Amino acid sequence: MRSHEIDYRIEGHDIQFVEIELDPGETVIAEAGSMFYMEEGITFETRLGDGSEASSGVLGKLWSAAKRGLTGESIFLTHFTNMGTGKQRVAFSAPYPGTIVPIDLAALGGQVILQKDAFLCAAKGTHITITFNQRLGATFFGGEGFILEKLVGNGLAFVHAGGTVVEKELHGETLRVDTGCLVGFEPAIDYSIARAGNLTSMFFGGEGIFLATLSGTGKVWLQSMPVRKLIQQLTPGGENSRKGESSFLGGLFE
């Protein structure tokens, strides 16, 4: 399915929002509850699925929604359509301080893989599904790194991340990061969970027991402030909780 062609602008600094401009009949899909404002000609409807599997019937839509449910996200997506006669605008805001990143799926070969809470909105025609990390380390110790979201399509998608976003281009190199600091990567990148050094480093180094390892050739997006760390800093005893990451139990239950 050919994605709808949408125009946009991103506003703000620490807490951003993206304004989408729709021609008559165009639609943008978004996570439930992310809408900031919309103009008079915009109508919205909450549906199962992303609308890319229109010909797959009810069972196909239910299966697609059930897979999204595995990530902990809502099985529903909201579809915003311009039913007016001229250009109309709808805006979406990130759920916590950070950065909104536009991704042109066509320029990335039609696919990108994201952490499960990174997706914000996309042009209709974008297929939102899941993918599993096949490495046992990710399964048992990677926390947020095992079940990942995959966007498939040829249009624009928007993801949000905590703090500052860093885009890195790997050329046969290897990059190791905190599992929560990973936002997304191209499918050509090999992603696994590896031990954080020797036993002393794992238990007392303050970086957790396991790190995400990315290698190969392609783009990687990182975030400087994962929501997990933000919550730890804002809640009572947050600094003590953060120190707990360096302990054996802190690493296991992070």
pLDDT at 72: 56
Q: Which domains does the chain have, with CATH numbers?
A: 7-253 (3.60.160.10)
- pLDDT surpasses 60 at 29: yes
pLDDT-derived band at 247 (thresholds 50, 70, 90) equals very low
pLDDT-derived band at 55 (thresholds 50, 70, 90) equals very low
The mean-pLDDT minimum among 7-11, 50-54, 94-98 falls in 50-54
The mean-pLDDT minimum among 25-34, 56-65, 91-100, 121-130 falls in 56-65
pLDDT at 197: 58
pLDDT-derived band at 57 (thresholds 50, 70, 90) equals low
Q: Do residues 112 and 11 touch, judged by C-beta distance below 8 A? A: no
Average pLDDT across the chain, whole number? 79
Q: What is the mean pLDDT of residues 81-110?
A: 93
- The structure's pTM equals 0.79
Distance CA 212, CA 105 (A): 24
Q: Give the percent of the chain with pLDDT over 70.
A: 68
pLDDT-derived band at 137 (thresholds 50, 70, 90) equals very low
Extended beta strands in the chain, E state = 7-11, 17-22, 27-31, 35-38, 42-48, 76-82, 88-93, 98-104, 111-114, 119-123, 127-132, 147-152, 156-162, 165-177, 182-185, 190-195, 210-223
Model pLDDT for residues 162-195, shown as the tens digit of each residue: 988 999 999 999 999 988 899 999 999 999 877 6
Q: What is the mean pLDDT of residues 44-70?
A: 64
209 exposure class (CB count in 10 Å sphere: 0-12, 13-18, 19+): buried
pLDDT at 59: 56
